[in-house]
Amino acid sequence: MTDDQLLRYSRHIMLDEIGIEGQERILAAHAVIIGAGGLGSPAALYLGAAGVGHITVIDDDTVDLTNLQRQIAHTTDRVGSPKVDSLRAAVHAINPGVRITALQQRADDALLDQLLPTASIVLDCCDNYRTRHLVNAACVRHRKPLVAAAALRFDGQLMVINPEDAQAPCYACVFAPDAEFAEEQCATMGVFAPLVGTMGSLQAAEALKLIAGFGQAATGRLMMFDSRRMDWSSMRVEKNGSCPVCSNGM
């Protein structure tokens, strides 16, 4: 670690749970972020600020004026630009030492199979039910930890999936892949701006805990946040023995 890095990350290094060894694990990590919007913005900014050495961000969308109410990585002068390029610029403005791979495309099986073998952690920051299941299945397939979140109106959800834990549930154990699901998006339902910041920041926190190897991850729990009442609830979820994605019979 260089003198500049020792100074930049000194407040992490001071923490006994992280220290030099934990910060070095963060510097060596590769985080894959699916989505560069409301959740992906704070998640990427905090991971970049914390020194995650390589961040790959995937999103096929461009910055729109309606995004700026909550997607804090983007700015007015970058309206019309690819979100992945805007996010890369935002992270580099904080920490130019982070390597960022910006992919303006939709996540699919081929892309995830290419990226996940070298990934340390995956963050699902998308707003699409089908993509969530595709990412979950890829993480199970490659045995990579996944931090998934969602935010709509005033309500947020957070779940950590760890395929290395044979007893832990995956996303499909809780939300059936073949369920009839009415896709609801911010464009039609609205979303409270600080909510996505809260959930995306918590995704970054869970990712850093897993990378650095401290604390207890929120595995096996579905955490739900009601920002109207500032109320958290947590539901213990069990592995589904007949899950089509992660069960032994898959």
Please name the amino acid found at residue 67: N
Distance of CA 77 to the CA centre of its chain: 26
**DSSP symbol at 90:** H
Identify the residue whose tokens are 């699409």. 128
Residue identified by tokens 């896709």 is 183
How far apart are the C-alpha atoms of 47 and 40, rounded to whole Å?
10
Active-site position among 125, 186, 243, 246: 186
- For this structure, is 186 an active site residue? yes
122 forms beta bridges with: 32, 146
Distance CA 34, CA 142 (A): 16
Torsion angle, alpha carbons of 45, 49, 53, 54, to 10: 10
As a whole number of angstroms, the distance between CA 235 and CA 230 comes to 17
In our burial notation (b when 16+ CB lie closer than 10 A, e otherwise), range 91-104 reads beeebeebebebbb
Roughly how many angstroms between the first and final C-alpha of the chain, as a whole number? 43
Q: Which residues contact 83 (CB under 8 A, 6 or more apart)?
A: 36, 37, 59, 61, 62, 63, 67, 71, 74, 104
What the block records as the tokens of 232 is: 């958290």
Residues annotated catalytic, as ranges: 186
